[in-house]
Amino acid sequence: MIPHRFAALSAFALLSLSPVVAAEVDATASYVLTLGGINIAAMDVDLQDDGSRYSLDLSANVAGLGAVVASGTASARSSGSSSGKVLAADAFGLETRANGETFTVDVSFAGRDVSAFKVEPPIIDNYDRVPLERRHLTGVGDFMSAFVLKGNALDKSLCQRQSHIFTGVERFDIAMTYAGEDQATSPRTGYQGPVVLCTVDYNPVSGHFTTSDITNYMAESDRIIVWYAPLGETGYFIPYRVLLGTNMGDLSMVLTRLEQ
């Protein structure tokens, strides 16, 4: 699995809705990622919001798993306006380092439209890559802010949303659907209490490779689930757990620590 695809899947997990958050927010959530029950990465996500602007900072150390996931590091940042019902990014950046190679993405947004983007090294447009079109770069956001939600309550309304996402490499759509409620009880996690389950339907649009096993598997999967927990009384809701069934075993991300 190449580095930027792993970062996208991991952050697939981080993967927005009702009231304006007026109070300042400064919180850090820590996660562990496993594949087939084996720990492959540890990740911290810092959320700050001053009432009008937000920033999300992600840092991950990837232990790797043989030829499946390369060991290395990943970092990502999203920032923009938090004054509406959803987070609206004006900048997104990603950097991964693995096997002595560095991969970077920088995307600028104007409103919900991509105003500029740069990928280093550039993605080669092979015959099997679906071309990015200008119309695919309008009405979009980044994948980090798409999975950090704002809402009035921990209920089914959190799951009733669609997001159009551009990663700098690929454009895809996500439709979330309410799947039920549960209680997080494990003392080994960073939260105990009620959670809401949302299923995620992934629809690739452009920039992906038609021969990609990961893309095709995710597009056909009915086992992409996000459990959401409240971030205190801030009006934010963050992933407590993410589960993605893969042909290599379940890719799981679980909240292990929460500071606010």
Task: Estimate to the nearest angstrom the gap between the alpha carbon of 30 and the chain centroid.
Answer: 14
Give the pLDDT of residue 15: 38
Q: Residue with structure tokens 């938090």? A: 82
For 164, residues 6+ apart whose C-beta sits below 8 A from its C-beta are: 139, 140, 141, 171, 173
Note whether 29 and 258 are within 8 A (CB): yes
Residues in the chain: 260
For 19, 107, 173, 253, the CA distances from 119, given in Å and listed in that order, are 34, 9, 21, 27
Predicted confidence at residue 241, as pLDDT, reads 97
CB 218 within 8 A of CB 143: no
Can you give the pLDDT at residue 14? 42
Element (H, E) at 219: helix 213-220
Angle CA 219–86–88, to nearest 5: 90
- Give the residue from 140, 43, 49, 36 showing the smallest Cα distance to 88: 140
The whole-angstrom separation of Cα 36 and Cα 87 is 33
Give me the tens of pLDDT residue by residue for the chain, a chain 260 residues long.
444 554 455 544 443 333 333 468 999 999 999 988 888 899 999 999 999 999 999 999 988 665 556 788 999 999 999 998 899 999 999 999 988 899 999 999 998 999 999 999 999 888 999 999 999 999 999 999 999 999 989 999 999 999 999 999 999 999 999 999 999 999 999 999 999 999 999 999 999 999 988 899 899 988 899 999 999 999 999 999 999 988 778 899 999 999 98
Distances (CA, A) of 57 to 1, 72, 111, 126, 182: 23, 17, 21, 32, 28
Strands 38-49 and 53-62, bridge-based pairing: antiparallel
pTM of the model: 0.88
